[in-house]
């Protein structure tokens, strides 16, 4: 049968010649031949299949019978399963089984819970009995047993580790435990207060070893300490003892006016530490040896009499007292013996050695820790003596600087006022004066305040110390010098604020001070930098301070200039624009204003000239005069109608003002020149409006043609007049006429 299902190859049905060219199509005869051969092949296959089925008929019959039986059995099984499912549906046994299992489980849980509750009740009863036994032990004086029981109950009740899901009874037990803890704490602390006390009358510390409180006797001090240690309140119990020792023993011993000594007496039931005056009343704590030995004797007394040579107890007492004792020693002894002179620093080495030896002895007694460097407070302070020396010196220098700035009244000596200004003409007086200083980079001298000069002397001394000190100290001194200089900027302007708001000599003196300080600051680098320690040469800078004082000096000066100009402006305002001066009342008012201007300028001249540098004086005074003359000239030129008589009065006012200011003009001459030797052109170069107002006084009685000629030859233009001012001036003085029109036309054409 397998051969029937094999593949039929079409090529086998054709002749070989028909397949000579696989790519050529078959002809119609070939196709008909192929169909015939395929039909023949199909017939043969059907014949073979039929013969095969006939020969195997019985086999196929058995196969079909077996299949039929299998189907019948499957139907029977299906019916049986359906019957079982029906039976189960009518009688649900699985529900009964679930109920039985659930009931069994709940019974087991109930049994387990009852066992746990029974165990909890047993535990609660045991804890309660333990608490009662602790209370009984406490009442009977068995402190060790009570303390141990309280410690164990703390663990059992999980004190400090509470849980909200715990039974309520645990909270009640904890409350009982807390009450018991407070009671035992109170009892033990009460015993400690009875055991250690200070007798003020006898000036001694008394320690009792056998105690009796409230009918409980025979209690040993050591037992009380052990009980406190077990309960965890040793530090609390020793705190009051520590306070007592600091207050009545250590503080008087360290701070007493004359040295004290300790006398120790040990008995079987009592220990005494007596505080008595030192036999040598002249002895002082010069090197710390006597001080340290006394404190060490006290510590040893505590070690033997209170801590019973137990290191953990001693360490606890040390934590309570050492920070305060060390701070007391530093503030009352070490800080006071820090040298105030760099040359005495080597002498401090003995104190450093004594301090280190003292702390080593404390470590052997376990009073302070060997591993914690924080306990080496005294050694750390003593070994950093250079820093403390520098800090102490810095505080002293800054305090001195502040005091001299606050105490100085910044008054001007009489000999330096206008009436007594001999120092400008008398070289010997100037050289010997303590108020006159050299300005390093200006090659001039000026008057400064006593405070500024003393401050700079203090700064120079500090910088000299920088050159002689170690790097650490030098840096502190360097910053001290800077801070001392800056104190002037901070203190003086605030102190003299009222004077700075007025026109007075104090403000000019402050200007000179700031100028002097800026010059000195610029010289610091040249004078001291080469001698500074090499490591700080690149970091020591002063040049940043100089501009601050230069700006402050200029600010003070400009403030004075503005105040003067403001006062002059108010005085000129009183002239009411110089209108109608041909009327007597108006003339008197204008003359009074001019007198006020002259008075203010003369006052400023008296204040400024003796104090300011000549160049600064000329610059400032010229600024003031320029504002005055330009304002007066502007007011006169703004008049729109000037009568003939009025021109004469205005001219008179200008001449009067210039004549009264002659001494002031003379003060503006450089060097030894007087006003006659000093060319007017030079003065007018300094004060451009002076030339203008002088020319204005000439114009007031000048013919119209002359005024026009002056404009045409540019002379009025060189004096600062504008074409508008000249035209308005001509219109105000001269009436309208062909001549005026012609002159105005010439002026306009000359400007083209």
Residue 551 lies in a domain: no
Q: For residue 128, what pLDDT is reported?
A: 60
Query: Would strands 216-220 and 260-266 be described as parallel, antiparallel, or unpaired?
Result: unpaired
Q: For residue 133, what pLDDT is reported?
A: 59
Looking at the fold, whether 247 and 348 belong to one and the same domain comes out as yes
Looking at the fold, whether 608 and 464 belong to one and the same domain comes out as no
Q: For residue 165, what pLDDT is reported?
A: 56
Residue that wins the pLDDT comparison between 422 and 172: 172
Looking at the fold, whether 156 and 255 belong to one and the same domain comes out as no
Residue 322 lies in a domain: yes
Question: What are the tens digits of pLDDT across the range 546-578?
Answer: 999 999 999 999 999 999 999 999 999 998 888
Residue 511 lies in a domain: yes
Q: For residue 675, what pLDDT is reported?
A: 46
Domains contained in the chain, number? 4
The fraction of the chain above a pLDDT of 70, given in percent, is 78
Which helix (H) or strand (E) segment is 65 a member of?
A: helix 57-90
| Distance separating alpha carbons of residues 627 and 635, to the nearest angstrom | 12
**Last residue within a domain, chosen from 142, 174, 193:** 193
Top-confidence range, 217-231, 347-361, 492-506: 492-506
Q: For residue 644, what pLDDT is reported?
A: 87
Q: What are phi and psi of 484, to 5 degrees?
A: -65, -40
Question: What are the tens digits of pLDDT across the range 102-139?
Answer: 878 887 887 777 676 665 565 565 566 566 656 666 66
Residue that wins the pLDDT comparison between 608 and 78: 608
Q: For residue 201, what pLDDT is reported?
A: 82
Looking at the fold, whether 134 and 253 belong to one and the same domain comes out as no
Residue that wins the pLDDT comparison between 115 and 688: 688
pLDDT at 712 over 60: yes
Question: What are the tens digits of pLDDT across the range 297-351?
Answer: 989 988 988 888 888 999 999 999 999 999 998 888 888 887 777 667 667 778 8
Looking at the fold, whether 709 and 579 belong to one and the same domain comes out as yes
Residue that wins the pLDDT comparison between 242 and 107: 242
Residue 17 lies in a domain: no
Which residues lie below 8 Å from residue 582, measured CB to CB, with a gap of 6+?
643, 645, 646, 649
Q: How confident is the model at residue 597 (pLDDT cuts 50, 70, 90)?
A: very high
For the range 373-376, what are the long-range contacts, defined as Cβ-Cβ under 8 Å and sequence gap of 24 or more?
Answer: 375/318, 375/322
Q: For residue 557, what pLDDT is reported?
A: 94
Q: Rounded to two decimals, what is the model's pTM? A: 0.59
Residue 428 lies in a domain: no
Looking at the fold, whether 561 and 625 belong to one and the same domain comes out as yes
Mean pLDDT of the 10-27 span: 61
Out of 252-266, 321-335, 663-677, which region has the weakest mean confidence (pLDDT)?
Answer: 663-677
Looking at the fold, whether 539 and 567 belong to one and the same domain comes out as no
Q: For residue 422, what pLDDT is reported?
A: 44
Q: How confident is the model at residue 474 (pLDDT cuts 50, 70, 90)?
A: confident
Range of the domain at 655: 557-669+682-749
Residue that wins the pLDDT comparison between 274 and 116: 274
Looking at the fold, whether 291 and 255 belong to one and the same domain comes out as yes
Question: What are the tens digits of pLDDT across the range 449-465?
Answer: 899 999 999 999 989 88
**Last residue within a domain, chosen from 545, 572, 602:** 545
Out of 215-229, 281-295, 466-480, 712-726, which region has the weakest mean confidence (pLDDT)?
Answer: 281-295
Out of 213-227, 231-245, 589-603, 686-700, which region has the weakest mean confidence (pLDDT)?
Answer: 213-227
Q: For residue 656, what pLDDT is reported?
A: 92
pLDDT at 750 over 70: yes
Q: For residue 34, what pLDDT is reported?
A: 78
Looking at the fold, whether 364 and 239 belong to one and the same domain comes out as yes
| Distance separating alpha carbons of residues 528 and 545, to the nearest angstrom | 16
Residue 262, beta-bridge partner list: 275
Structural tokens at position 536: 């700080």
Looking at the fold, whether 702 and 598 belong to one and the same domain comes out as yes
Mean pLDDT of the 17-24 span: 58
Q: How confident is the model at residue 62 (pLDDT cuts 50, 70, 90)?
A: confident
Q: What are phi and psi of 678, to 5 degrees?
A: -85, 115
Q: Three-state SS across 519-563? A: HHHHHHHHHHHHHCCHHHCCCCCCCCCHHHHHHHHHHHHHHHHHH
* Mean pLDDT taken over the chain: 81
pLDDT at 352 over 80: yes
């Amino acid at each position: 049968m397998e051969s029937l299902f094999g593949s039929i190859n079409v090529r086998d049905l054709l002749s070989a010649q028909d397949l000579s060219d696989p790519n050529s199509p078959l002809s119609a005869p070939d196709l008909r031949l192929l169909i015939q051969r395929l039909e023949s092949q199909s017939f043969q296959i059907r014949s073979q299949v039929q013969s095969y089925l006939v020969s195997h008929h019985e086999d196929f019959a058995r196969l079909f019978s077996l299949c039929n039986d299998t189907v019948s059995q499957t139907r029977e099984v299906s019916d049986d399963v359906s019957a079982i499912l029906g039976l189960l549906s009518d009688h649900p046994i699985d529900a009964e089984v679930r109920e039985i299992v659930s009931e069994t489980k709940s019974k087991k849980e109930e049994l387990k819970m009852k066992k746990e509750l029974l165990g909890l009740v047993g535990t609660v009863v045991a804890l309660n009995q333990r608490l009662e036994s602790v209370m009984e032990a406490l009442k009977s004086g068995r402190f060790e047993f009570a303390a141990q029981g309280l410690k164990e109950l703390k663990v059992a009740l999980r004190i400090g580790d509470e849980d909200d899901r715990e039974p309520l009874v645990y909270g009640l037990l904890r409350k009982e435990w807390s009450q018991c803890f407070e009671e035992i704490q109170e009892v033990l602390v009460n015993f400690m207060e009875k055991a250690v006390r200070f007798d003020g009358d006898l000036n001694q510390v008394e320690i009792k070893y056998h105690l009796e409180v409230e009918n409980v006797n025979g209690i040993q001090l050591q037992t009380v300490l052990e009980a406190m240690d077990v309960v965890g309140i040793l530090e609390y119990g020793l705190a009051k003892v520590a306070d007592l020792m600091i207050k009545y023993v250590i503080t008087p011993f360290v701070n007493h006016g004359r040295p004290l000594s300790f006398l120790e007496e040990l008995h079987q039931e009592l220990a005494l530490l007596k505080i008595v005056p030192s036999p040598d009343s002249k002895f002082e704590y010069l090197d710390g040896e006597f001080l340290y030995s006394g404190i060490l004797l006290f510590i040893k007394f505590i070690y033997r009499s209170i801590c019973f040579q137990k290191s953990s107890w001693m360490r606890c007492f040390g934590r309570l007292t050492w920070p305060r004792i060390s701070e007391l020693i530093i503030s009352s002894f070490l800080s006071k013996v820090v040298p105030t002179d760099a040359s005495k620093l080597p002498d401090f080495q003995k104190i450093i050695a004594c301090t280190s030896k003292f702390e080593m002895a404390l470590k052997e007694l376990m009073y302070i820790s060997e591993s914690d460097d924080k306990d080496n407070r005294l050694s750390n302070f003593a070994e950093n003596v250079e820093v403390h020396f520098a800090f102490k010196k810095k505080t002293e220098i800054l305090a001195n600087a502040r005091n001299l700035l606050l105490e100085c009244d910044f008054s001007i000596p009489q000999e330096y006022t206008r009436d007594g200004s001999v120092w400008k003409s008398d070289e010997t007086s100037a050289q010997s004066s303590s108020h006159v200083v050299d300005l390093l980079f200006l090659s001039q001298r000026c008057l400064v305040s006593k405070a500024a000069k003393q401050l700079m002397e203090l700064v120079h001394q500090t910088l000299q110390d920088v050159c002689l000190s170690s790097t650490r100290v030098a840096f502190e001194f360097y910053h001290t010098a800077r801070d001392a200089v800056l104190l002037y900027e901070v203190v003086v302007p605030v102190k003299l604020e009222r004077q700075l708001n007025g026109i007075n000599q104090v403000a000019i003196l402050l200007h000179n001070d700031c100028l002097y300080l800026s010059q000195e600051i610029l010289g610091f680098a040249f004078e001291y930098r080469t001698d500074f320690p090499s490591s700080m040469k690149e970091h020591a800078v002063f040049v940043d301070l100089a501009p601050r004082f230069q700006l402050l000096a200029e600010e003070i000066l400009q403030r004075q200039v503005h105040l003067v100009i403001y006062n002059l402006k108010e005085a000129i305002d009183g002239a009411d624009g110089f209108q109608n001066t041909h009327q007597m009342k108006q003339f008197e008012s204008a003359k009074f204003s001019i007198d006020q201007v002259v008075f203010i300028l003369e006052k400023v001249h008296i204040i400024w000239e003796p104090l300011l540098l000549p160049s600064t004086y000329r610059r400032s005074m010229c600024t003031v005069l320029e504002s005055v003359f330009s304002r007066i000239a502007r007011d006169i030129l703004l008049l729109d109608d000037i009568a003939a008589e009025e021109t004469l009065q205005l001219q008179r006012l200008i001449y009067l003002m210039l004549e009264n200011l002659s001494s002031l003009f003379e003060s503006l001459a450089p060097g030894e020149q007087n006003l006659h030797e000093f060319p007017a052109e030079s003065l007018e170069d300094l004060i451009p409006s002076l030339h203008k107002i002088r020319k204005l006084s000439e114009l007031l009685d000048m013919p119209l043609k002359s005024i026009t000629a002056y404009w045409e030859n540019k002379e009025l233009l060189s004096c600062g007049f504008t074409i508008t001012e000249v035209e308005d001036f001509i219109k105000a003085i001269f009436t309208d006429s062909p001549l005026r029109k012609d002159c105005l036309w010439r002026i306009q054409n000359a400007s083209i």
